[in-house]
Amino acid sequence: MNRKKLAEKVITGLRRVIKERTTELNHVNPYELLVATVLSAQCTDERVNKVSPPLFKAFPTVQDMAVASVEKIFPFIQSISYPNNKSRHLAKMSKQIVEDHAGQVPETVEGLESLAGVGHKTAQVVAGVAFGIPTLAVDTHVYRVAHRIGLVSDAATPVHVERQLKKLLPREDWSDMHHVLILHGRYRCTARNPDCETCPISSLCDYYARLQKLPARRADLDQREGRYYCATRNHYFKEADLVSDRTGTEQLSCPRCGSMNIFDTRSGKTAKKVKDYRI
């Protein structure tokens, strides 16, 4: 199946189970969405949604925040990641909007990117959600899920992932793909323990297919003989070597023969790992 067809099947499958395809950041206008999105960088939406109500009560408009000092903003966001930097960004960003944009949040990706603390991803989220512009922002969830499924390849950065994904779908589907991949990654295709067994698109997923090819769990191993068992030479050992396989994934290997076909005797599970993706 070519990637365009795969993308069509993926978005169709995820649309069936993800009905609310929009940001989970609470907001009532573009100003609040912009602030919340800036705060969400390397922080959970849940945390931002707890912090934002008192923040917006203190600074209900961009004009109110524009005249606030960094020191006044900081206490409201000190519980989130990088509060010092984000306080400075919010203060400067608000002043820019008032002074350079007549108090209106810019409605283009380029205009948004000109603001302090607003990167490419943040600008695309705000432009897409607040102003309906077709965008496809790539965060850690989109990056991971797109690679796992096999929608992209050799995409080393979020920008590379974005470019490849946009080539697979018509513009009117970009925003939907952004949201379904984020929500799928946040609640099902999680970083550490993806719920592949109940996934509606597992039959399309390259990562799941590779997991299925891993050796089955063994119940015949004796952990008293050693922490690991080499299935190639049929012997136990205490400590494994660490090597990189042909995909660049670090694997445990047998110190005697170098085989990566080894098992953890405590769980009976293979020590092999399928290549995964993080940013």
| Residue 139 annotated as catalytic | yes
The DSSP-derived string for 200-241 is: TTGGG-HHHHHHHTSPPP-S---GGG-SEEETTTTEEES--E
Q: Distance of CA 140 to CAs 121, 226, 268, Å?
A: 11, 38, 32
Residue 253 CA to residue 245 CA, distance in Å, equals 10
Which residues lie across from 250 on neighbouring strands? 244
Q: Distance of CA 185 to CAs 138, 149, 178, 199, 279, Å?
A: 12, 11, 11, 11, 14
In 10 A of CB 216, how many CB atoms? Answer: 8
For the chain, the maximum distance between any two Cα atoms, rounded to a whole number of angstroms, is 74
Of the listed 86, 95, 121, 264, which one is catalytic? 121
Are 169 and 3 a contacting pair, CB within 8 Å?
A: no
Of the listed 86, 95, 139, 173, which one is catalytic? 139
| Residue 241 annotated as catalytic | no
Residues marked active site are found at: 121, 139
